[in-house]
Structure 1
Amino acid sequence: MYHKSLKNKEKIFAIAPMMDWTDRHCRFLHRQLTRHALLYTEMVVADAAIHGDRERLLGFDAVEHPVALQLGGSDPQKLAEAVRIAGGFGYDEINLNVGCPSDRVQSGTFGACLMREPDLVARCIAAMKAASGDVPVTVKCRIGVDEQDPEIALSALTEAVIQVGADAIWVHARKAWLEGLSPKENRDVPPLDYDRVYRLKQDYPNVFIGLNGGVEDLNQALEHLNHVDGVMIGRAAYHNAQMLTGVDRLIYGDDVAAVDWRAVCEAMMAHADAHVASGGRLNHVTRHMVGLFQGVRGARRFRQILSTESTKPGAGPDVIARAFDEIDFNDLAVAA
């Protein structure tokens, strides 16, 4: 389980929480490609976890383990209640979002703007820890916001949450500019400062420090793991999910057999069948699969079938089979 790896300070590869992307269907797909990577949910606002459709917001397939729930909020009592609710679902980690720069997050006084309030973040973490049992509680943050000095801001936040028992700090190695940049621009425009995260690890050698931001492939991830305890990849892994087939071998040293793509196809068909039978739509599942097989013969037709056929009325799992039939798996073996 993930919490064992975290407490033993083993290296961890994670797929970042991404709003509107890392839902249960995305995570189910990613788990077909890697046994060991830590998967994150989309951010769930504490109020939604308390008052909303809990099964829809928090439910997941047992195959997704290890899986972490990311919560958003700034009220310690509400976050603690959300953690208690999540406890019934069996997550391997609970993470507090102190890094999202979106307008809707700022209006709720949480996300990246909490970088300015380390004492409040510490109170949130303390309350979450008290409610979490033995499930780790972690923080995902930026190196600072707006005019903050990252040397001071990141250390202040880290010190505050470590003092109340935070189990890990995941750092997106960019500032967030809450004035003047859109959320999309905040993912690309502020310069990356990996060295600042490396120095944080040097300052806190006994604390799990993970790095996020701008990591494009597993070779880069391996380089970062020479300096920190964990690496998190987001959009690069989503748009080119085939990269995840190398995680278990390269990151975890697990000499696993090559991915059985026919088994992946069958698993996704079964998953889609259950989702459609419960009233869902096929494209809820297939939209996460479009990024597979980049550069492989048949990939263009694969994408076309998934993108167009899955949105038609009555579309079923056979669409997935037809898409997979277009892929030249011999070419895929050469590419690997």
Structure 2
Amino acid sequence: MEFSRINFRPVVEGGDDVTRAFRKIDLNFESLGTAFLPTGEVGARLTALETVAGELGDAARRNVGAVAGTVAAGDDPRFLAVGDVAGSVAAGDDSRFASNAAAAGAAQMTANNALPRSGGSITGAISAKLGGVVAFGTTGSANIGGLVYSDYFQNTIADVSGNIFMRLQCVDVTGGATYSRLVTSHFDGTNASFMFQHNGVAQATTWQSTSDARLKRHMVVLTEPLDKIDAIVGYESYEKRVLGNATDSEGNSVPAQYTRTCGVLAQDVKQVLPAAVDNLGSGWDTNDKPIDDVLGVNDAGLSALFVECIKALKAQNALLSQRVSLLEAGSVSQKSVSKPDR
């Protein structure tokens, strides 16, 4: 039986209480049925609720507490691979679960290649096999630490080009300079080091910059090299402030120290060869005043000047040699003419 509408209005006024109550009821079953259809308001909400409930899986039936394998214990395997945002359930360090974390949970995280956590920080080494190893701490020496290097090092590697690795070492040499050493190594055992000392000195077997003619355009030959080099003074020795800042015992930025070296002044070079001078950024002058445009000299630019100076001197030497030869020849000829006969 289907009811489209039940209307009790025809009930005679003044009936008993039940009659009067039914008389006030006005039900529209057609509208009510439409609301419960899948496309209706109530039906849509029920469908959405069913979807959400389905996504929860068996979470509602899981244990709550310190029992291993539970959400509350923080080692539910469904969360270990979800993400790594600090302070979240996905990262495994949500503070709401930290108090319930169990030893079994840490073991489960390690087994799933996750990082065991202690006090909100990472302790020990961070390892990524076959792609490299990042290690913080010492490696048998109290003066060496902070290494970043590859762990994939075998003599049987077939693909040579894909297995060159590097490591960065921060070394404190007692009585000497503290330096960072960048070591690049080949699988056959050969390696090279690039050392950067705390006083600004860098060391390597050689340094190269690109100089391929195919990379250059609008080339202008350097002229009047001997006049240009006259404007540059070479200094046998001077103290130069290291570029950058130092910090005092309270962590405040202070001028860096000095190092003794030799060379030329960028201002001198800039007058005659401005293309060989670069702006290296900020630093401190000798009056402990900050400056923002520290100048540096490009050694390749000076090399060009030296080359042209040598060529100019060579040309002058050739001319002088020719004149000396002519003078010597003339002197000999004159002597042979004035020699008396016997």
TM, length-normalised to structure 1: 0.19
Which protein, 1 or 2, shows the higher relative CO under an 8 Å CA cutoff with sep ≥ 6? 1
Q: Which has the higher strand share?
A: 2
Relative to its length, the structure with more helix (as a share) is 1
